Amino acid sequence: MSNQKTQVVVNDQEIETIFRQVENQVPVPLVSCTLKTDFTGMVKKCKEDGTINPYYKLLKKVSKKTYLLVTNYQQRVWNNLKKEGKDPSTFQVESPSGKVHISKCLLTDTETHTKRYVMLEWFPEIKGTTEYFQGNDQIGRELFSKWMTDYNSSNEKQGLEREVKPITPLFESIVSFRVNGTEYIRG
């Protein structure tokens, strides 16, 4: 028996088709994603010592993590409210800013309807990896940590102790993803 994993090169249209198929599975499967984005969590000048950030707007962040495909955000929040003994009617979902759903887990931009996003939920207890790059060179976080900003991704409107933590990465930030035993690599 072969232990070789299946890898498939896909374009954005194929990624959309795959997510549309997967979003209807019961239970909804976990998706392992590698995302590459511009790293924007930094300031230009350090508040403590006034030094200028030599990495400002030059870094890429590559994160690898396993997520849950979000097919019904409001229901996820309502279920957690019920588990915490709270009234689910206290929460009404709002559309993500500048985005609208085109399927259960897929979104597009409201302005041009040309960008595609997938809604994923991350969990603090599922550890992943994050690496930072300047060009093709990986650099350690310690080199730019004094210019990093604290980012609070709280969803206080949910009224939950254990918040549902959705993200909506652009398709173009997806390097690869694995679902149902197949790895898809964005070509």
- Has residue 66 been placed in a domain? yes
pLDDT in tens, 143-157: 999 999 876 666 666
Would you state the pLDDT for residue 162?
Answer: 76
68 pairs with which residues across the strands? Answer: 30, 121
pLDDT in tens, 18-55: 999 999 999 999 999 999 999 988 999 988 899 999 99
> 45-102 pLDDT, tens per residue?
988 899 999 999 999 999 999 999 988 888 888 888 888 888 888 777 777 789 999 9
Residues pairing with 100 in the sheet: 108
**Amino acid 48: pLDDT:** 85
pLDDT recorded at residue 17? 96
Within-domain flag for 37? yes
DSSP state letter for 96: P
- Domain range holding 133? 31-175
Q: Tell me, what's the pLDDT at 72?
A: 86
- Give the tens place of pLDDT for each residue, 99-114: 999 999 999 999 999 9
Strand partners, 174: 35
Q: Is residue 17 part of a domain?
A: no
Give per-residue pLDDT as tens, 166-175. Answer: 899 999 999 9
pLDDT band at 178 (very low <50, low <70, confident <90, very high): very high
Which pLDDT belongs to residue 1? Answer: 47
If one counts the domains in the chain, the total is: 1
The answer to whether residue 159 is domain-embedded is yes
> In 117-145, which positions are buried (b, 16+ CB within 10 angstroms) versus exposed (e)?
bbbbbbeeeeeeeeebeeeeeeeeeeebe
Residue 184 placed within a domain: no
Within 13 A of 173's CA, how many CA atoms are on the CB side? 20
pLDDT at 160 over 80: no
CA 4 – CA 8 distance, rounded (Å): 13
The size of the chain, in residues, is 187
pTM (predicted TM-score): 0.84
10 within domain boundaries: no
Residue 152's pLDDT is what?
Answer: 62
